[in-house]
Copies of this chain bind each other. A is one copy, B any other.
Amino acid sequence: MPEIAVNSARFLEDLHRLRSFGAHGTGVVRPAFSQPDIASRQWLAIRMADAGLNPVFDPVGNLFGLPADDSACLLLGSHTDSQPEGGWLDGAFGVIAALEAARASIEAGGPPIAVVSFQDEEGRFGALTGSRVWSGALDLAEADRLTDTQGTSFADARAAMADLCARDFVRADRFLGYVEAHIEQGPVLDLSEDVIGVVEHIVGIRGLRVCFAGQQNHAGTTPMAMRKDAFQGLVAFAERINETLASIVTPATVWTIGHVELKPNAASIVPGLADFSVQWRDADEVRLDRMEEIIRQTAASVAEEYDLKCTHSDYLSVPPTAISGPLRQQLETSAEALAPQRWRRMPSGALHDANNVARLMPVAMLFVPSIGGVSHDFSEDTKEEDLLLGAQVLAQAVASGA
């Protein structure tokens, strides 16, 4: 295995240069296909070429940096588009760490490494659009009909960079696997003071939108016993799923009621309607099923008890993604060598491009800490030493696979 060393100054300089596209205070405003996004991708293509990689934009704006020969290689990367108003490291860290790993490997005579920045991970047109199309999870014609909140279609948006893009997609069969480095976007590493997270699995997500319909009534003239209060149904539902789920979950399982709309939503009116989301995540498909059963049964029994009508809509289901054992082992060996006993195995609770890429090849992921667990916010940040360590762990792990 070759000794591989990232060039810290070059890595940090590129990371800060990428931040300058769409810079806004400490964060960035660089949504997919915006002028700063396209400009940053053009700059990144040049940096890939500088590193001896062949830059290729695919038809949806995913930017690949490919080793000159056609030999099999690992693919490393993430995304460079940002939330509408986002942090500077979400996606960007993984792309620049990938570029640095590729450069460091070339310099050390290590294995060839390909680099990618997927397009629209942050979901101007849904979520993870670029990797969804590339992986075949989403048909291009279907993607083209997606629209953003302003009504612009994906087809019109990608036309803005059509002159940069190849007609064909990059073939996936040359890639041995995909490794994505990313900021954690949660509090676990920050609070545990571990500096590297090696992802054990990417959780699956289920979501249900539930509507309880009762009877809108005057809050003064309707006795408690005669009410069909949709909000009280929601309260009972929320309380009971907390109780029932507690006995079947792990400490990593999460469930959330994040969206609630009452109608008519007035202080003096008994709510006639409560429309709300329930979302749950776990790495185990069987547990996701069991949770779903509890959630659906609880909604039905609460509705019956409170004399409400219960309807569901907008069902969401993303299966858990398996992590490649060998790739994960390489990351763990590298983490233990560079940060002995300061790394941990952990789930990824968020979706990443790796979810889609897993349709095509083995995947693995590496996390660095998010200060205060903050992400999707201008104030998102990670200690410089942790960013450097993450890039080094990634580079050493992939070099060891040669």
Which chain B residues border A223 with CB–CB below 8 Å? 186-188, 251-252, 254, 349
With A260-B265, A265-B258: A222-B279 Cβ-Cβ less than 8 Å: no
Nearest neighbor of A203 in chain B, beta-carbon distance = B220
Whether B350 pairs with A221 at a CB distance below 8 angstroms is yes
Residues from 231 to 259 in A contacting B, C-beta threshold 8 Å: 231-232, 234-236, 238-239, 242, 251-259
Give which listed residue, B191, B235, B260, B281, contacts A238 with CB less than 8 A. B235
A185 within 8 A of B: yes
Which chain B residues border A373 with CB–CB below 8 Å? 217, 221-222, 226
Shortest Cβ distance from residue A277 to the other chain B in the assembled complex, whole angstroms: 4
A351 within 8 A of B: yes
Whether B256 pairs with A191 at a CB distance below 8 angstroms is no
Which chain B residues border A205 with CB–CB below 8 Å? 220
Give which listed residue, B218, B265, B279, contacts A267 with CB less than 8 A. B279
Question: In the docked arrangement, what's the CA distance between A279 and B191, Å?
Answer: 40
Shortest Cβ distance from residue A226 to the other chain B in the assembled complex, whole angstroms: 5
Shortest Cβ distance from residue A62 to the other chain B in the assembled complex, whole angstroms: 23
Q: How many residues of A contact B (CB 8 A)?
A: 58
Closest 3 CB pairs of A and B: A186-B221, A220-B349, A267-B277
A–B Cβ pairs within 8 angstroms, 28 of them: A185-B218, A186-B217, A186-B220, A186-B221, A186-B222, A186-B223, A188-B221, A188-B223, A209-B267, A217-B373, A218-B376, A220-B281, A220-B348, A220-B351, A221-B349, A222-B349, A223-B251, A223-B252, A223-B349, A224-B254, A231-B238, A231-B258, A232-B242, A235-B235, A258-B265, A259-B267, A260-B260, A268-B279
* Chain A interface residues (CB < 8 Å from chain B): 184-188, 191, 203, 205, 207, 209, 217-226, 229, 231-232, 234-236, 238-239, 242, 251-262, 265-271, 277, 279, 281, 348-351, 373, 375-376
Given contacts A231-B238, A258-B265, A258-B266, 9 further A-B contacts (CB under 8 A): A220-B350, A224-B255, A231-B260, A235-B235, A235-B238, A256-B268, A257-B271, A258-B262, A259-B262
